[in-house]
Structure 1
Amino acid sequence: MMPPPALLPPGFTVELNRTVTVRDGGRSLVGGSPTRAIYLSTAAASMFAGRRLTVASASSGGLADKLLEIGMADPVFDTLPTADESDVTYVIPTYGRPQSLDRLLTSIGPGKAVIVVDDASPDPSAARTIATAHGAEFIALPENLGPAGARNAGLRLVHTTYVVFVDNDMVVTDGAVATLLRHFVDPRVALVAPRVIGLQLSTRVNWISRYEDARSSLDLGPTPATVRPRARVSWVSTAFVVARVDALGAGFTDGMRVGEDVDLVWKLVDQGWRVRYEPAATSAHEHRVTFSDWARRKAFYGTGGHALALRHPGNIAPAILAPWSVGVVLALLAQRAWSVPVALGISAVAAGFIARRLTRHEHPVRIAVALTATGVAASVSQAMALLTRHWWPIAAVASIFSPRLRRATIAAALLDIVLDYRRTRPQLDIVRFGLARRADDLAYGTGLWLGALRGRSTAALRPEIRGFRLPGRPGHRP
């Protein structure tokens, strides 16, 4: 189903997010995801009250909608109307783990419409007993379909306006669903996801659990965002989401056992729907804490790259670079006396070209320099990720023969640890954090390569070089 026309209701308020710098007396906006510069007319600039814009007409509504789409603004959460949870059905796919199912249903509470879908567990009787005790509807599938198929089976039985998909290793925190529902006042919003934090279990605390608390693949951070390919937040996990039933159509792609969440989000965005990430709502996930289970799960995520590359070939590249930024990266990797001067020269030329495109702005050179610096930082970050994560098998072999590449790979691995440690501030010493960080990347990269080899395709491994633009963020799991 296609979304309705973009008609934000009167009073809907958005605020420029922290990525955006306002220049030229409010007429130039630089930021968003990916980074860009836009120039507003005098009339458009006058619609703002500080960094906020409230919908009062078709023109202000159109501008607010555009700012949401390009990741420059987010809804002001406190201004969103409260929501009624009575028009919601919970769909829970489950396979074994009856104790976890009981814990989840307890967190949902009584009086809710709940459908538990057993995905052909060896013995579904325990799940049936628990579901019945909590007043939930229970269906048992005759064959294992995976999470996507199990969710779809439940979705076909939903008659409410909204559905909550929640996995049985989650715990629903108080108020989370009501918080997420507030975003559906925007008629283009199809799906909203909360921040996923670690479930605190005193019996399962070790160095892996502390690493996951700080840097779980499911935790997308403290900042709200519009979710779309190549953006800062390019996907959300459907371990816990609220969705508009009419927007989902048939639901997930049947047969996908990994990456089905990314696929669903990107399908919705392609159809014109909006997907939001809202960290004001949280849910708790029981992380894997034994090293073998944890590493296998990371590798499993990586194997999904191939299927996503086939279904969404324009969104899955491990790096997205402009030709000029490739030159900067190659110059730095050369590690010669001329490397830094050449990289600076290429950047200066790029800034000059960008400035020529910003003639409507009052300070085009200043904006172009800022955009170029952002592009260089993004390109270097992506090159580091290629060496330590997506291309690590190539980097490891090549480092045996190339001292320069060996130095670059070691430097990238260590710098990434330091920067990530400062950013996440984990309850873990930097040595064990660093070991987990590198194991995380090695496992994911291994899965990515296994998926490519099985599919006999390098589509998920190839970086994309496109036009003269600033690089965005790739669409892989973080």
Structure 2
Amino acid sequence: MTGVPPPPDARLPDGYAVRLAPGTRRREDGAVLLGGSPLRLLRLSARARALLAGDRLPVTDAVTAALAARLLDAGVAVPEPAGPAPGPADVTVVVPVRDRAGGVARLLAALRADPDTAGVRVLVVDDGSADPGALAAAAAGAEVLRHERSRGPAAARNTGLRAATTDLVAFLDSDCVPGPGWLAALLPQMADPRLALVAPRVTALPSTAPGWVTPYETAVSALDMGPVPGPVAPLSGLSYVPSAALLARRAALGEGFDAGMRVAEDVDLVWRLAAAGWRVRYEPAARVAHDHPSTTGAWLRRRAVYGTGAAPLAARHGSLVAPVVVSPWTAAALVPAVAGGRPGRVLAAGALAASTVRLARRLAGPGRPAPYGLAAALVVRGGAAGARTLARAVTRHHWPLAAAAALASRRARRRLAVLAAADAVLAWLPHRDRVGLLRFAAARRLEDLAYGAGLWAGALRARDARALLPAAPPDIAPPRRRGTRAGRRPT
């Protein structure tokens, strides 16, 4: 698959602004910012510090535009878009579909009921439906493009992308129902000329035939990225957005999705865009409902299919698809701690202490003492996150290995049971008012078994283990440059 084109050499427009994101911490009288995902430390120059006197930075010239862009890309700020932005007339809606005539009719009715999208051009791409006449009737009022045989959703989206002539293309799957104002909430984000994609929040469409898994899927669907907006990039808290609903800049996509991928093509596109220098954002103020599977069998099959996407992603993006991202220092503390016994605890404490000293020295500003307290807090935070990541991998990505260990060792069985219970309870707490603990725990374990089975099946089929291997996270405080060059000055 060819790469996407590079972004334009264009700055954020005047009137645009950024505000420090919730959770971003200021230290050393505002000279240092700590935040983002993955966690980053930014040391501001005196000029940048003066420009960011408060928590908000308006763009007024090239200097403030460059600083605002740096803060956005580091994930320590969120945008307040302003300036020239496209409107609904600049959007074409592309709907890839196969055999879902009822879903297409429902989707088109929702678009026509929204004043912002009532007049937009809609391209329905029939990906080899068995009854093309029924689909054409359901799509009355829209343009229908047809594949005589099914080529997959990625190829169907690309067909619509090539037929579009507007600057923006909105991709909506046929099992989606956009909420009122969804497009109006996304369009202002496109004032950023380097923004390639922005995605809405994908929530559950109320089911007409709810099943046992419906409360769980409604609470924690794999398509729902949650209530917090943010940048989307590999190895971050928002590493992808689903292609079920996207607003894209047509010029950014090049040839579009990789038509050779029947799953994870959305992840692949986001990562290619990020590698090329484009921005991708998630904006949950816009909402699109999705018809989630309600039967347990269909739900588990879909989760297994999602797991098979890791192997082709690994072939294209290497360690970015790693199921475990943990620093060597954290691993050096966790492994002996899990092994147990006094020697293990001593080794774990030594690794944590060494990591704290190393990080404190990296965080120290010129002429300032090393911040051992901050470093210790960050190491503890990283250790806790690493422990949860490893526990999650044991019960999800690497459960075949954990099961083999449990069969061979009574001690491993006990520890696996504790990990599985703790993982379920911690994940359930934010959703306890929506689904009961026992249902949540049972569904989470079934979901992990299905996803892990798909993950291993895909890796075995591809004869490529990279989708199973761990990786190290980006450094919180990159090494300082010696001297400065044009275009390489400190922030």
TM-score by length of 2: 0.91
* Identical residues among aligned pairs (%): 44
* Number of residue pairs matched by the alignment: 466
Q: Counterpart of 2:213 in 1: which secondary structure? A: helix
**Is structure 2 residue 80 aligned with structure 1 residue 76?**
yes
**1:321 to 2:329 alignment:** no
Contact 2:304 2:452 in 1 (8 A): yes
Secondary structure class of the residue paired with 2:320: coil
- 2:240 aligns to what? 235
For residues 82 and 33 of structure 1, the distance between their equivalents in structure 2, rounded to whole angstroms, comes to 28
Contact 1:334 1:404 in 2 (8 A): no
Q: Cα gap change, 1:198/1:468 in structure 2, threshold over 3 Å: closer, same or farther?
A: closer
Structure 1 pair 175–82 and aligned structure 2 pair: CA distance change class (3 A): farther
Select 2:216's aligned residue among 211, 224, 231.
211
Q: Counterparts in 2 of 1:161-172, with a 5 A limit?
A: 161-172=167-178
Q: Distance in 1 between matches of 2:149 and 2:433?
A: 41
Counterpart CA distance in 2 for 1:70 and 1:253 is 28
Quote how far apart the aligned CAs of 1:80 are.
6.8
- CA deviations on 1:356-396 (whole Å, 9 max, x unpaired) are 11221756223212321222122111111110000000101
Distance 2:466 2:430 in 1: 31
Indicate conservation of the 8 Å contact 1:207/1:428, yes or no: no
5 Å matches for 1:275-294?
275-294=280-299
Give, in angstroms, the shift of residue 341 of structure 1: 4.1
Looking at structure 2, the residues matched to 296 and 160 of structure 1 have their Cα atoms a distance apart, in angstroms, of 37
The yes-or-no answer on 1:145 pairing with 2:151 is: yes
CA contact (8 A) 2:219 2:435 kept: no
Q: Deviation per CA, 1:411-431: give whole Å up to 9, x if none.
A: 221111111111233522100
Cross-structure match for 1:182:
188
Q: Does 1:128 align with 2:136?
A: yes
State the partner residue of 2:447: 440
In the alignment, is the contact (CA less than 8 A) between 2:235 and 2:473 conserved in 1?
no
In structure 1, what is the equivalent of residue 483 of structure 2?
none
Counterpart for residue 166 of structure 2: 160
Distance 2:341 2:376 in 1: 25
**Cα deviation code 1:223-257 (max 9, x no counterpart):** 11100100110000010000000111111111210
The residue that corresponds to 1:382 in the other structure is 389
Corresponding position of 1:95 = 98
Match status 1:173 vs 2:179: yes
Of the candidates 96, 102, 107, which is equivalent to residue 104 of structure 1?
107
SS of 1:282 mapped into structure 2? strand
Indicate the larger mover: 262-271 or 425-434: 425-434
For residues 210-232 of structure 1, the C-alpha deviation after alignment (integer angstroms, 9 at most, x for no partner) is: 11111000001111110010011
RMSD, aligned α-carbons = 1.7
Counterpart mapping for 1:430-469 below 5 A: 430-465=437-472
Give, in whole Å, the separation in 2 of the partners of 1:242 and 1:44.
Answer: 33
Q: Check if 1:246 corresponds to 2:251.
A: yes
**Contact 1:96-1:127 at 8 Å conserved across structures:** yes
Q: Is the 8 A contact 2:197 2:247 kept in 1?
A: yes
C-alpha separation between the residues in 2 aligned to 1:150 and 1:432? 37
Indicate whether 1:416 and 2:416 are aligned.
no
Q: Alpha-carbon deviation of 1:111? A: 2.1
| Unmatched 5+ stretches in structure 1 | 471-478
Query: What is the rounded CA distance, in whole Å, between the counterparts of 1:466 and 1:198 in structure 2?
Result: 32
Label 1:349 to 1:443 Cα distance change in 2 as closer, same or farther (>3 A). Answer: same
* Structure 2 runs not aligned, ≥5 long: 113-117, 478-491
Q: How many angstroms apart in 2 are the aligned matches of 1:296 and 1:192?
A: 28
CA deviations on 1:237-282 (whole Å, 9 max, x unpaired) are 0100000001111111112100000011111111111000001111
SS in 2 for 1:156: helix
Secondary structure in 2 matching 1:385: helix
Asked whether the 8 Å contact 1:208–1:291 carries over to 2, the reply is yes
Deviation digits for residues 393-418 of structure 1, max 9, x if unmatched?
01011112233432332222111111
Residue of structure 2 in register with 1:476 after alignment: none
Task: Please tell me the residue identity of whatever aligns with 1:114.
Answer: V
Aligned to 2:170, what secondary structure does the other structure show?
A: strand
Change in Cα spacing, 1:108 to 1:388, as seen in structure 2 (3 Å) is: same
Change in CA separation of 1:370 and 1:10 when aligned onto 2, cut-off 3 Å: farther
> Which of 79, 86, 90 is the matching residue for 2:89?
86
* 1:99 Cα deviation after fit: 0.9
